[in-house]
């Protein structure tokens, strides 16, 4: 996994390259934007598929928020 960090107009971008996939993650004024994120997890996909597609964005946003919450304080490890 390789990390590239750049700063543009008070925005921080992080591009994660792993196995040819790229996710462009922007943090701007406390808002995290994730573009082109691919997660290979059939079990998680099956859980998400059990809900109406109109709720997928909300559910995914909450899951990422919860997951990042578990990492709180781990940035110093």
13-63 tens-digit pLDDT: 555 555 656 677 888 888 888 888 888 889 999 999 999 999 999 999 999
| Dihedral over alpha carbons 48, 29, 18, 6 (to 10 degrees) | 170
Q: Quick check: 77 pLDDT over 90?
A: no
Between helix 56-70 and helix 42-49 the angle, nearest 10°, is 130
Q: What is the pLDDT of residue 71?
A: 83
Q: What is the pLDDT of residue 2?
A: 45
């Amino acid at each position: 996994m390789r990390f590239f960090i750049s700063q543009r107009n008070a925005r921080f971008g992080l591009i994660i390259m792993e196995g040819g996939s790229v996710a462009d993650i922007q943090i701007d004024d406390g808002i995290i934007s994730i573009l082109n994120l691919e997660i290979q997890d059939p079990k998680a996909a099956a859980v998400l598929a059990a809900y109406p597609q109109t709720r997928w964005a909300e559910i995914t946003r909450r899951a990422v928020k919860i997951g990042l919450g578990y990492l709180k304080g781990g940035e110093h490890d």
